[in-house]
């Protein structure tokens, strides 16, 4: 690590020896770059860009993979070759400079450009991004330590794999990416599963499913055979109903003969009542009952009945009216008596008996102590009021109020 030291230099006479008292020391060259990287790394970590909870899960089998790297060189060939061997997928390549001054801005634009693509557009939007570069010195890889690259990778909505340098090389984009691969080839292996292994797994699962289904069917067949042994034979199930049918068939002719005889006897009994003379007699009886009921509905009889009920109703109404008037008059007399009692209990009646009301500063005074504290006193008699005190001004007697006549409520 190179440093720049600042201080005081002293010499020892005749000995060609020098002594330096260092007052300040700072990194230089490679050391300065590492110090800058550590400072930048601490600032991004403080913002939470390295937090594990903000990293996205990689899709199991992406349809489209976006690769950000140099279009020429071994890196892109290794990635494409590995993807073709494991599980061929559609690949979109965004060519960028992977070192030098143009590296950081071009990588940043590539990440942002892939994220800005519209799903379902003419050019399919990637489901996964790979930022890759081969190994090199720290100066060669410095473009991936720039803050704009780290922030673009952290803000990417598309899951991102960083594969910059070899396994021993670590850049800022490795800390903010969703997954770090030690090499570009390893990034391709993280991006997709092995197709042959996946097909073998699917075939194995299919075979297991077939074996499970076959075993379940065989087990149910055996269960069905076991249950069928406990069932009776079809012939034995029909023996009893067949016997009942035979007995019923034997009894049917005799039962039909008896039923016909009973019906014939009932018909002969009823036929006598269906003769014309009998029917005419029944009609005459019904006509007589109808005439009797019509006589009962005579209008004169109905009028007398209505008049009788109207007289009874008027008598009941008169009695109710007398009772109601008596109750109302009683309530009115009671109310007038209560009003007279209320008037005798008022304080005006008390004043008429020789008493007086003392007020101090407008409030009623009930004690001598309160009277001393009042600035002015006023005494109310039955025939007027009188003011007492230095500040009191004589008040004109208020005429006695005569309560208005309440009158009758009814």
Residue 156 has pLDDT above 50, yes or no: yes
Rounded Cα distance, 343 and 4, in Å: 114
Residue 392 has pLDDT above 60, yes or no: no
Residues 295-320 have a mean pLDDT of 83
Choose the weakest-confidence range: 59-63, 99-103, 200-204, 336-340: 336-340
Which 8-state DSSP code applies to residue 150?
Answer: H
Residue 401 has pLDDT above 70, yes or no: no
Residues 135-158 have a mean pLDDT of 91
State residue 410's pLDDT score. 42
DSSP per-residue letters across 319-375: HHHHHHHHHHHHHHHHHHHHHHHHHHHSHHHHHHTT--EEEETTEE--SHHHHHH-S
State residue 272's pLDDT score. 66
User: Which residue has 């070759």 as its token pair?
Assistant: 81
Tell me which range, 166-180, 223-237, 266-280, is most confidently predicted by mean pLDDT.
166-180
Polymer length of the chain: 410
Residues 60-79 have a mean pLDDT of 94
State residue 3's pLDDT score. 65
Residue 64 has pLDDT above 80, yes or no: yes
Residue 176 — very low, low, confident or very high, per pLDDT cuts 50/70/90? very high
Give the CA radius of gyration of the chain: 61
Residue 113 has pLDDT above 80, yes or no: yes
pLDDT in tens, 228-261: 888 877 777 788 888 889 889 988 888 899 999 8
Q: Are 131 and 173 in contact (CB under 8 A)?
A: yes
State residue 356's pLDDT score. 85
Mean pLDDT of the chain: 85
Q: Are 160 and 68 in contact (CB under 8 A)?
A: no
Rounded Cα distance, 61 and 86, in Å: 11
Residue 395 has pLDDT above 60, yes or no: no
Measured in degrees and rounded to the nearest 5, phi and psi for residue 10 equal -125, 155
Rounded Cα distance, 66 and 158, in Å: 10
Residue 210 has pLDDT above 70, yes or no: yes
CB atoms within 10 A of CB 335: 13
- Predicted TM-score (pTM) of the model is 0.47
Choose the weakest-confidence range: 12-16, 165-169, 305-309, 326-330: 12-16
Strand, coil or helix: what is 46? helix
Strands 90-95 and 64-69: what pairing?
parallel
pLDDT in tens, 367-379: 888 888 888 888 8
State residue 374's pLDDT score. 83
Rounded Cα distance, 165 and 400, in Å: 115
């Amino acid at each position: 690590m190179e440093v720049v030291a600042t201080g005081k230099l002293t010499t020892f006479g005749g000995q060609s020896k020098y002594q330096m008292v260092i007052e300040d020391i700072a990194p230089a060259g490679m050391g300065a770059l590492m110090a800058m990287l550590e400072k930048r790394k601490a600032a991004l970590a403080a913002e939470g860009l390295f937090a594990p909870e903000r990293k996205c899960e990689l899709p199991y089998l992406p349809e489209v993979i976006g690769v950000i790297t140099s279009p020429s060189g071994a890196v892109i060939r290794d990635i494409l070759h590995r993807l073709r061997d494991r599980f061929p997928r559609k690949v979109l390549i965004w060519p960028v400079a992977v070192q030098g001054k143009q590296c950081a801005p071009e990588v940043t634009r590539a990440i942002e450009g892939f994220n800005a693509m519209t799903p379902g557009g003419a050019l399919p939007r990637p489901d996964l991004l790979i930022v890759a570069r081969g190994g090199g010195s720290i100066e060669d890889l410095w473009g991936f330590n720039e803050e704009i690259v780290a922030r673009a990778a952290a803000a990417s909505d598309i899951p991102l794999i960083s594969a910059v340098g070899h396994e021993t090389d670590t850049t800022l984009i490795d800390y903010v990416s969703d997954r770090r691969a030690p090499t570009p080839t390893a990034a391709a292996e993280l991006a997709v599963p092995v197709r042959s292994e996946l097909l073998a797994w699917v075939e194995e699962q299919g075979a297991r499913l077939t074996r499970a289904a076959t075993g379940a069917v065989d087990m149910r067949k055996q269960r069905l055979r076991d249950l069928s042994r406990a069932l009776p034979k079809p012939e034995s199930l029909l023996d009893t109903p067949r016997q009942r049918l035979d007995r019923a068939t034997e009894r049917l002719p005799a039962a039909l003969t008896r039923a016909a005889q009973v019906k014939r006897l009932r018909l002969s009994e009823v036929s006598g009542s269906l003769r014309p003379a009998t029917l005419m007699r029944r009609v005459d009886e019904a006509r007589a009952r109808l005439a009797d009921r019509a006589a009962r509905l005579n209008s004169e009889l109905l009028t007398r009945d209505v008049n009788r009920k109207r007289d009874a109703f008027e008598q009941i109404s008169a009695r109710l009216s007398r009772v109601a008037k008596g109750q109302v008059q009683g309530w009115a007399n009671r109310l007038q008596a209560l009003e007279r009692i209320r008037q005798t209990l008022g304080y005006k009646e008390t004043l008429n008996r020789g008493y007086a009301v003392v007020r101090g500063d407008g409030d009623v005074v009930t004690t001598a102590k309160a009277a001393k504290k009042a600035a002015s006193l006023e005494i109310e008699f039955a025939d007027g009021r009188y003011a007492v005190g230095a500040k009191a001004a004589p008040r004109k007697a208020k005429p006695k109020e005569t309560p208005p006549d309440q009158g009758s409520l009814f």
